[in-house]
Structure 1
Amino acid sequence: MSDTVDLVINGGTIVSPDSRYSASIAIKDGLIHAIGAPEAMPPARQTLDASGLYILPGAIDVHVHFRDPGYPQKEDFASGTAAAAFGGVTTVFDMPNTLPTIDTPEALADKHTIASSKAYVDYGLYAVLGEDSIEHVPGLIEGGIIGFKLYMGNTFGRIPSPTTGAMLEAFEVVAPTGKRISLHAETNSIMERRESRLRASGRTEAIAHLDARPAVVAVEAVARAAILAEWTGARIHVLHISSAAELRPLAEAKARGVDITGETCPHYLLLSEHDYETFGGVIRVNPPVREATNRQPLWDALMDGTVDVIATDHAPHAPEEKTRPDIWTVDCGFPGVETQMPLMLTEVNRGRATLEDYVRWSAENPAKIWGLYPRKGTLTVGSDADIAIVDINREWTIDDAKIQSRSKISPWQGRKATALPIHTLVRGRFVMKDRVLQEDARGSGRSVHAIQQMPPATPRNTDTTMAAITSRSER
């Protein structure tokens, strides 16, 4: 090899979903050029000594809320993607409940302009799938999206939940496109009714939020969405799985051949109802942190493949928005994109899973599910050089005041961790090096929709779709 490459990383241990091994990595023009013995590497303009560190594919967080446009005081694309870089996350999928809501091609174009000028890491943009945006599906896809987000239950932004009839029509329209529909799977009518009764009875303490949203709201929503996906052939993804009870309709749908995937988040794996006493409204999130009995089944579901992905639902708010005494006035969510990898690798160190498992959940599976593999989600020759270089023996304590997010309040405050990303590269470029943000990388992030290649669509029951029945001539 006589060609000079841009960077060679020496001395680290590379981790894949199947193995770990010591090797050097050569990077050229943003791609992985070679992997092998140090002496086999071509000459390089720059080298990095990663001795004692682990080299992971950069995490792909398929569920973040960067609040831009509309709420930049909570977060914007610069601060959010900086937090991602510090967390070893090299690609994020940003949700559409901004202001304006991303439900038209025009709003999407404006958001692309914002993201491309600020992003430190690569990104995909979601568009809302609802009653009013069904007509915009072709234009939204043309405008460049990673997928659609459908809100079966209310959350921040109060995007209206479509009726089941509108959901069916929306699935019918999206199914032939092959795009995946990510679901906030909570049944809105149950939650609204319970919350109104709790408010009327004077319940304002933090745990009342959990009482308003028992696991059945998710169980019913997952089962209903799976039936619609099975009927239409739409691809769906269940966001933020919080309860053991959801796992049955998810597993049953997979067994029936439904193209359904699911994610869970660190707060559902590591926190419980007991943390409401410590953190109060800070812990309020949709779906809620649930009873401790749900945690081990969620870990088990990750291990057996029922749940496919680790994501964060990174949802930043200001401290005053999280500490109001009346839980119903507290904004839902908290930051997580920067702390997910340290938290999960701390559990790896405790024996809950292996590094190989973590790479599968955080990188390979998301890339495969959203049609980005093998360009993303793997460290193989020809792939994008999206890399997290991690010290898995670094003891430190999470301090909300020091995280990159503008939201300086979370239920992770004071929690001890034993792993930390040291360097993060996106397409071969350092975006975080030696725990320092590389300011010149701002605006270097790209939308991944251009490289997305979903498998061929398999729509079903196309003769009974709304479009089919309304276009038939009178008989």
Structure 2
Amino acid sequence: MEKVDLVIRGGTVVAPDRMVQAAVAIDGERIVAVGHDDLMPAGREELRADGLYLLPGAIDSHVHFRDPGYPRKENWKSGSAAAACGGVTTVFDMPNTNPPTGTLEALRLKQKAAESSYVDYGIHGLFGDDTVDRLEELLEGGVTSFKAFVGNTFGNLPAPSDGALLEGFEKLAPLGIRTVVHAENSSIMARRQQRLQDAGRNDALAHLASRPAVCEIEAIGRVLALAEWTGARVHIAHHSAADSLFVLREAKRRGVDVTVETCPQYLLLNTGDTGRLGGILRLNPPIREARHNQPLWDALMEGVIDMIATDHAPHTPEEKTRDSIWDCDCGFPGVETQMPLMLTEINRERATLMDYVRWSSVNPAKAWGLYGAKGVIAPGAHADIAVVDMARGGVLSQGRLHSLSRISPWHGRTVRGVPLHTLVRGRFVMRDGNLVEEAAGWGRSVKAVQRMPAPRPRNADSYTSAVLATPEGAPPARPLEMMP
């Protein structure tokens, strides 16, 4: 048997349903064999992984690498370096850059910036009133998916009108393309914030007071109603509240194609940390009271929440530490710290490594049409692997982050369980805990391997396109047939 490029021996391969001690053979960009040591071909290079775990590389469906437009906050090289050092092998970047990723010209700028990436990537295009007529064009240009900012956030992009949401879903449903939704009610939040500012509330908890959980309940319900009617696929970003889980649970029971992410900050932080961290903790949706933490864990275990993402949203330290909470930019870096934080909780037996692989890799791969190429350690798949030491401890330090944003709420937190090596399509991008700097630019778009399942559009005879093409006097659309 001919030699292959790399054989990893002695480790335990983790899948969502089992853990098996096995060797992994890699040739070029793909895995060619997984099995007993004796059955492996010889490798031009071998890596001993005794006592270590081989996880499919994490897929983070929610990052802001800030380029083009805000290079002082982050760029693709620094953000993807952070991902590589966090065991993350694929990221999906959000469109609230400058210019927003809502035109072909803006998309080309982002694609050019992404040429320096260490890791593979998808690009969410902007879904708004001004872009609904360009969705197909953006897909042809290379976006993998879309993002609708139903709730306002950094960049202050206007929320799409309900009419635009419906029409956009009508266009995307027959294509099977998924839309990420920042689901908060912008009108409630704008009025609340103004009332609080008028009353002189500038403290850190005022941000939470301006964005009550009902904003999430209402927005999710509205978005899911439109998705259910059209058959569009949607993804709820950074789910934060226990109170809105019932909306998702019921929608999934009815068969609505909705996937959901939450983030380590909503699982592990609460308002008890606000006094200590102040504006560092400002993000959207807000960090909530402690009563929300455990229900989010329970929802992950139940499958109501599908995956872990980070909402990696870097800013400069000065932008995070201003006197008034309203002047502090929203968000903080997270793509490098997610895996150590979550593995620490696995070590505390809050879940298993198999659960973690399902949340961090398998379910994101399925949601974005990548499963088979990514999300699994198996012959034929991309060799995207995080080699993890579950026994190694450490202390997270914002000064050692690879992100340009050197300010983090996780600074000083003790962790146990860290990635030691990260491979993206067979190439080390982190080795022995150190970034492989010459791997910059190795990352590529996942568009070429994206294969979404067959679409399931519904009520197509009521779509805008059908109405415009319907002769006067045609019968009205049939009523919504509830899903079984």
Query: What is the TM-score when the length of structure 1 is the normalising length?
Result: 0.99
2:95: which partner in 1? 96
1:154: which partner in 2? 152
1:215: which partner in 2? 213
2:2: which partner in 1? 3
2:406 pairs with 1:408:
yes
2:61: which partner in 1? 62
Runs of at least 5 residues in structure 1 that lack an aligned partner in the other structure:
none
2:104: which partner in 1? 105
1:334: which partner in 2? 332
Tell me, what secondary structure is at the counterpart of 2:108? Answer: helix
2:49: which partner in 1? 50
Tell me, what secondary structure is at the counterpart of 2:277? Answer: helix
- Residue 104 of structure 1 and its aligned partner are, at CA, apart by 1.0
1:187-336 matched pairs, under 5 angstroms: 187-336=185-334
Q: What amino acid is the match of 1:454? A: M
Q: What amino acid is the match of 1:54? A: Y
Q: What amino acid is the match of 2:226? A: L
Q: Deviations over 1:370-397 (max 9, x none)?
A: 1101110000111100000011111111
Q: Take 2:469 and 2:194, find their aligned partners in 1: how far apart are those partners?
A: 42
Q: Percent identity, aligned pairs only?
A: 58
Tell me, what secondary structure is at the counterpart of 2:4? Answer: coil
Q: Take 1:470 and 1:189, find their aligned partners in 2: how far apart are those partners?
A: 31
Q: Take 1:119 and 1:322, find their aligned partners in 2: how far apart are those partners?
A: 26
Q: What amino acid is the match of 1:128? A: L
Q: Deviations over 1:256-300 (max 9, x none)?
A: 111011010000000001111000000000000101000110000
1:39: which partner in 2? 38
Q: Take 2:102 and 2:448, find their aligned partners in 1: how far apart are those partners?
A: 19
Any conservation in 2 of the 1:144–1:450 contact (CA below 8 Å)?
no
Any conservation in 2 of the 1:318–1:408 contact (CA below 8 Å)?
yes
- Residue 195 of structure 1 and its aligned partner are, at CA, apart by 0.3
Q: Take 2:468 and 2:20, find their aligned partners in 1: how far apart are those partners?
A: 59
- Residue 472 of structure 1 and its aligned partner are, at CA, apart by 3.0
1:370: which partner in 2? 368
Tell me, what secondary structure is at the counterpart of 1:430? Answer: strand
Q: Take 2:319 and 2:468, find their aligned partners in 1: how far apart are those partners?
A: 47
Q: What amino acid is the match of 1:442? A: A
Tell me, what secondary structure is at the counterpart of 2:267? Answer: helix
- Residue 106 of structure 1 and its aligned partner are, at CA, apart by 1.9
Q: CA RMSD in A?
A: 0.8
2:12: which partner in 1? 13
Any conservation in 2 of the 1:6–1:45 contact (CA below 8 Å)?
yes
Any conservation in 2 of the 1:61–1:362 contact (CA below 8 Å)?
yes
- Residue 470 of structure 1 and its aligned partner are, at CA, apart by 2.2
1:392: which partner in 2? 390
2:478: which partner in 1? none
Q: Take 2:121 and 2:394, find their aligned partners in 1: how far apart are those partners?
A: 29
| Counterpart selection for 1:164 from 152, 162, 180 | 162
1:78-89 matched pairs, under 5 angstroms: 78-89=77-88
Q: What amino acid is the match of 1:108? A: L
Q: Take 2:34 and 2:229, find their aligned partners in 1: how far apart are those partners?
A: 45
Tell me, what secondary structure is at the counterpart of 2:391? Answer: coil
Q: What amino acid is the match of 1:284? A: R
Q: Take 1:313 and 1:171, find their aligned partners in 2: how far apart are those partners?
A: 24
Q: Take 1:27 and 1:398, find their aligned partners in 2: how far apart are those partners?
A: 32
- Residue 451 of structure 1 and its aligned partner are, at CA, apart by 0.6
| Counterpart selection for 1:344 from 322, 342, 345 | 342
Which is further off, 36-45 or 262-271? 36-45
Q: Take 1:171 and 1:345, find their aligned partners in 2: how far apart are those partners?
A: 37
Runs of 4 or more consecutive aligned structure 1 residues displaced over 2 Å after TM superposition: 470-475
- Residue 311 of structure 1 and its aligned partner are, at CA, apart by 0.3
Which is further off, 279-288 or 461-470? 461-470
Q: Deviations over 1:105-142 (max 9, x none)?
A: 22112211220x20000000000111000010111010
2:377: which partner in 1? 379
Tell me, what secondary structure is at the counterpart of 1:395? Answer: strand
- Residue 450 of structure 1 and its aligned partner are, at CA, apart by 1.2
Q: Deviations over 1:300-358 (max 9, x none)?
A: 00001010000000000000000001000110000000000000000000010000000
Tell me, what secondary structure is at the counterpart of 2:43? Answer: coil
Tell me, what secondary structure is at the counterpart of 2:392? Answer: coil
Tell me, what secondary structure is at the counterpart of 1:153? Answer: coil
Which is further off, 60-69 or 47-56? 47-56
Q: Take 1:389 and 1:380, find their aligned partners in 2: how far apart are those partners?
A: 15
Q: Take 1:249 and 1:355, find their aligned partners in 2: how far apart are those partners?
A: 28
Q: Deviations over 1:438-460 (max 9, x none)?
A: 11211110100111111111111
Q: Take 1:154 and 1:253, find their aligned partners in 2: how far apart are those partners?
A: 24
- Residue 369 of structure 1 and its aligned partner are, at CA, apart by 1.1
Tell me, what secondary structure is at the counterpart of 1:371? Answer: coil
Q: What amino acid is the match of 1:164? A: D
Any conservation in 2 of the 1:397–1:414 contact (CA below 8 Å)?
yes
Q: What amino acid is the match of 2:97? A: T
Any conservation in 2 of the 1:122–1:445 contact (CA below 8 Å)?
yes
Q: What amino acid is the match of 2:46? A: T
Q: What amino acid is the match of 1:218? A: E
2:448 pairs with 1:457:
no
- Residue 474 of structure 1 and its aligned partner are, at CA, apart by 4.1
Any conservation in 2 of the 1:348–1:355 contact (CA below 8 Å)?
yes
